[in-house]
A and B are shown apart, each in its own frame.
Chain A
Amino acid sequence: MRSRFGIALAALLFTAPTFAAPDAPSGVAFRARGDGEVITNTAGMTLYTFGRDLQPGKSACNGPCAKLWPPLLVAGDAQAAGDWSVITRDDGSKQWAFRGHPLYAYSKDQAPGHSYGDDLNKQWHIAFRPMFTPAEVSIVGTLKGQVLANAKGLSLYTSKSDKPNQSNCAEACARTWIPLAAPWAATNRGDWSTVKRNDGTKQWAYRGQPLYTHAGDAQASATSGDGLDPKWQVAVVEPPPPLPGFVKVHQSDAGELYTDGRGKTLYQREVKRAAGLGFNEADLQSVTVPRGFQPVTPENTEDAKPVGNWALVDNGGKKQWAYKGLALYTNDNDIAPGDLKGVRGTDRSFYTIMRSGELMQGTGQ
């Protein structure tokens, strides 16, 4: 079996280093991302917040939950300061909270850089300190990565025709690429500056690049303007998570998903998803993987290296690729890239990994 240290070492090689911050309590560190900072413990393990922590100063995760999600406990008599506060748990222990949200690790994360718990049950989310943005700007998740957006979530774009802090897009251009207006009283701060347009209005710029929305984007997180014209690109501040070399992205009838190098869709198996309707989880667990599913092993992935949430795990004495700790399979019935024959109403323990990070549409999960 691959040692925990081995996994941790491999992950460290592909993970941004953490750093302490003067305003953070001891026991806490940060891992930089383009759109902000992930909060970690000093071992670099990702910390999370819990969506059911609704009562100020209280944790809703106790007992078995706290075993799976160990709280970040306060060492000694450390005191609250700034964004950091201390709550008292049901068992009397003290726990750190960031901006009022108690912090937890996830026991299934095996190495720094893992975030297996992110978005789990749509309740657990990475503890994150986002970058500063003006009130007119937000950050949204898209298939291109984390991108700058206006306050309504419409993606922002930059143009190679613009010069630093100068817009060259007016009239007809500005009807397709709509300048992101800044208030008249807006002032420069950090990476953010304002550009004075010819009509006298102000426009926000990020790192000197004037920002625009695209008239063709009808909904939040859409990036329809990206690639329409080589001069225009969506303002990505954090690219999508890296993929191992053998993983490709393919379009399918359910959206963009991950495949292996042959174009075969990657599936995860989690039997608890298939429980119900008289299916017993223990029975399902004891049933071997149904015919047609083949484990994704290092032998057929061309020496690809673990990265991010993609790792090698031990499965019955053999190494197998896994995503967020769940072993990966392909299905023999998938012939063309993007086929989804592994998804069956009669065995919903198999599902695919969508590039969007969302649960696969149409599996009823």
Chain B
Amino acid sequence: MVWFMRHGALLKKSLRSVWLASGIAGAACLFSPAQAADKSLAFVVKDWFNAIYETKFMDECPEGLSVANDEIWWRGLSKQDRAKLTGNGMVQALNRFGASVSRGPNKTNVCLEPSSVTPPPMRIVEGKYSFGVNLDGTTDGRATPKTCAHQKFTHPDGTPGIDNQMYRAIGCVYGWRKNVGTVDLNANEMRGTSGLGMILIEVTGVDDPRNDDDVTVTFYRSVDQWVSDSGGSPLPFSTYAIDTVDGKPRYGDSLKGSLKDGVLQTKSGDVRLPYYGNYNFMHPVIKDMSVRLEIEPNGEKATGQVFGYYSLEDFQYYIGGLGGVIPVNGIDCPSLISTAQQLADGYPDPKTGKCTALSSAFDIEAYAAFVRHPEKTKRTAQK
């Protein structure tokens, strides 16, 4: 049960959202010898975290953390049933998950059928600050043809007009709090150990790995597992093959971008990405997605953020399928899904007018890699 083993490792992650000093003096070695003709950089994404802004005294969640499914369940029981079904409180939340999540009518699983119950109000982020970017282009979050009215945040660096309704929804849920929550951490580790859902980022058309005002950034899925060093850490400059069918990539959406002083910044566009985590296989399409990646001076590693509108449908699917992660991360599926529906700020449904996506920001950490394209490595007998 992988979600038992997360807390220790999580302590090492406190710097994950800190962008490292720029500079790319050593990045020339990122050029793949096999692709020297069309120079490229490539990275394999190791970590993918929701960007969560936290203050020391949790000012962003003045009413505390959100109430979990387990608590909602046992509060609804008689004193006798509570004692019986929880072993007088001695059965851990994880081990009574089956009973607690089946609290809908006729034992309906409320994570798979969130509309089967009326969820209680949920505690959401009420703070002023958030990571992210201005996705809708407004200063006040008013409704536009592409967005619904919503509140704006200010970036911790003082930039106004930040959109991040995903953070507003999940920022006061235990499972996404830094150093304690394990939702994203568990997903990252599952990808690392299984080799599933791994994102490859390839930057092509690079004339100068430090400064180039016109590059193309393409997103693939790797079919290879992590290549790790003897300590279990990812080994930079390892080779990863892309996922293809009939010789064509199964993923491969591209964005235009530029490199400036070793910082990759893309323009925005819709990108379909592979995702695997917490036993869920997904391929979310992030709308208006853009990426900013800061490449370490030695070229081995890059950290940065992904911004864009995350589909409400994908969010609902993911939350409902989190399984054993739910009881140990203070999640209540119906209230979180209902809250996300209310907070959605992007892409209104033409029929209902309700928004179908959440503005979002994610922290990512990636390692330099070589991308293996099957058509470029095809061998034939040389008779």
Chain A interface (Cβ < 8 Å from any Cβ of B): 159, 161, 168-169, 172-173, 176-177, 215-216, 225, 228-229, 231-232, 251-254, 276-280, 283, 287, 290-291, 333, 338-341, 343-348, 361-364
Please, which residues of chain B bring their CB within 8 A of the CB of A168? 383
When the two chains form their complex, are residues A348 and B323 in contact, meaning their CB atoms are under 8 A apart?
yes
Chain B residue at minimum C-beta to C-beta distance from A275: B98
Interface size on B, residues (CB 8 A): 47
A362-B109 in contact given A277-B94, A280-B98 (Cβ < 8 Å): no
When the two chains form their complex, are residues A364 and B381 in contact, meaning their CB atoms are under 8 A apart?
no
When the two chains form their complex, are residues B107 and A287 in contact, meaning their CB atoms are under 8 A apart?
yes
Please, which residues of chain A bring their CB within 8 A of the CB of B113? 290-291
Please, which residues of chain A bring their CB within 8 A of the CB of B196? 253-254, 361-362
Chain B residue at minimum C-beta to C-beta distance from A292: B112
When the two chains form their complex, are residues B112 and A290 in contact, meaning their CB atoms are under 8 A apart?
yes
The stretch that binds A, out of B12-20, B287-295, B314-322, B345-353, is B314-322
When the two chains form their complex, are residues B383 and A279 in contact, meaning their CB atoms are under 8 A apart?
no
A347-B383 in contact given A253-B196, A253-B197, A253-B274 (Cβ < 8 Å): no
Shortest Cβ distance from residue B316 to the other chain A in the assembled complex, whole angstroms: 11
A364 to B277, CA, bound (A): 11
- Contact flags B323-360 to A (C-beta < 8 A → 1, else 0): 11111000000000000000000000000000000000
A98 to B2, CA, bound (A): 40
A364-B317 in contact given A291-B113, A346-B109 (Cβ < 8 Å): no
When the two chains form their complex, are residues B379 and A215 in contact, meaning their CB atoms are under 8 A apart?
yes
A169-B379 in contact given A344-B323, A346-B112 (Cβ < 8 Å): no
Which 6 A-B residue pairings sit nearest by Cβ, starting from the closest?
A345-B323, A279-B98, A345-B279, A278-B98, A344-B321, A340-B281
A345 to B107, CA, bound (A): 18
B276 is contacted by which of A287, A338, A348, A362 (Cβ under 8 Å)?
A: A362
A177 is contacted by which of B221, B279, B322, B381 (Cβ under 8 Å)?
A: B381
Please, which residues of chain A bring their CB within 8 A of the CB of B317? 333, 341
Chain B residue at minimum C-beta to C-beta distance from A344: B321
B320 is contacted by which of A169, A251, A343, A344 (Cβ under 8 Å)?
A: A344
Cβ contacts A to B, 9 pairs, < 8 Å: A169-B383, A172-B382, A176-B380, A228-B378, A251-B245, A278-B96, A278-B98, A344-B112, A346-B322
Instruction: State whether the Cβ of B101 lies closer than 8 Å to any Cβ in chain A.
Output: yes
Chain A residue at minimum C-beta to C-beta distance from B193: A362
Please, which residues of chain A bring their CB within 8 A of the CB of B276? 253, 362
A339 to B275, CA, bound (A): 12
Instruction: State whether the Cβ of B227 lies closer than 8 Å to any Cβ in chain A.
Output: no
When the two chains form their complex, are residues B322 and A345 in contact, meaning their CB atoms are under 8 A apart?
yes
Shortest Cβ distance from residue A334 to the other chain B in the assembled complex, whole angstroms: 10
Instruction: State whether the Cβ of B243 lies closer than 8 Å to any Cβ in chain A.
Output: yes
A215 to B96, CA, bound (A): 53
Interface centre among A177, A338, A339, A344 (most CB of B within 10 A): A344
When the two chains form their complex, are residues B380 and A254 in contact, meaning their CB atoms are under 8 A apart?
no
Please, which residues of chain A bring their CB within 8 A of the CB of B325? 345
Shortest Cβ distance from residue A221 to the other chain B in the assembled complex, whole angstroms: 15
When the two chains form their complex, are residues B379 and A173 in contact, meaning their CB atoms are under 8 A apart?
no
Please, which residues of chain A bring their CB within 8 A of the CB of B321? 343-347
Interface centre among B91, B274, B278 (most CB of A within 10 A): B278
Instruction: State whether the Cβ of B228 lies closer than 8 Å to any Cβ in chain A.
Output: no
Shortest Cβ distance from residue A212 to the other chain B in the assembled complex, whole angstroms: 10
A347 to B91, CA, bound (A): 21
Please, which residues of chain B bring their CB within 8 A of the CB of A215? 379
Shortest Cβ distance from residue A77 to the other chain B in the assembled complex, whole angstroms: 53
Instruction: State whether the Cβ of B88 lies closer than 8 Å to any Cβ in chain A.
Output: no
A348 to B322, CA, bound (A): 11
A343-B194 in contact given A172-B382, A216-B379, A291-B113 (Cβ < 8 Å): no
Interface centre among B95, B281, B317 (most CB of A within 10 A): B281
Instruction: State whether the Cβ of B250 lies closer than 8 Å to any Cβ in chain A.
Output: yes
A254 to B282, CA, bound (A): 11
A47 to B111, CA, bound (A): 43
Please, which residues of chain A bring their CB within 8 A of the CB of B109? 287, 290, 346-347
A134 to B216, CA, bound (A): 53
Instruction: State whether the Cβ of B100 lies closer than 8 Å to any Cβ in chain A.
Output: yes
When the two chains form their complex, are residues A253 and B221 in contact, meaning their CB atoms are under 8 A apart?
yes
Chain B residue at minimum C-beta to C-beta distance from A286: B107
A279 to B245, CA, bound (A): 38
Chain B residue at minimum C-beta to C-beta distance from A250: B245
When the two chains form their complex, are residues B112 and A231 in contact, meaning their CB atoms are under 8 A apart?
no
Please, which residues of chain B bring their CB within 8 A of the CB of A347? 109, 112, 321
A165 to B245, CA, bound (A): 36
Instruction: State whether the Cβ of B102 lies closer than 8 Å to any Cβ in chain A.
Output: yes
Please, which residues of chain B bring their CB within 8 A of the CB of A254? 196, 281
A206 to B146, CA, bound (A): 66
A297 to B258, CA, bound (A): 53
When the two chains form their complex, are residues A345 and B280 in contact, meaning their CB atoms are under 8 A apart?
yes
Instruction: State whether the Cβ of B28 lies closer than 8 Å to any Cβ in chain A.
Output: no
A353 to B98, CA, bound (A): 25
Please, which residues of chain A bring their CB within 8 A of the CB of B100? 278
Please, which residues of chain A bring their CB within 8 A of the CB of B107? 283, 287
Please, which residues of chain A bring their CB within 8 A of the CB of B221? 253
When the two chains form their complex, are residues A345 and B324 in contact, meaning their CB atoms are under 8 A apart?
yes
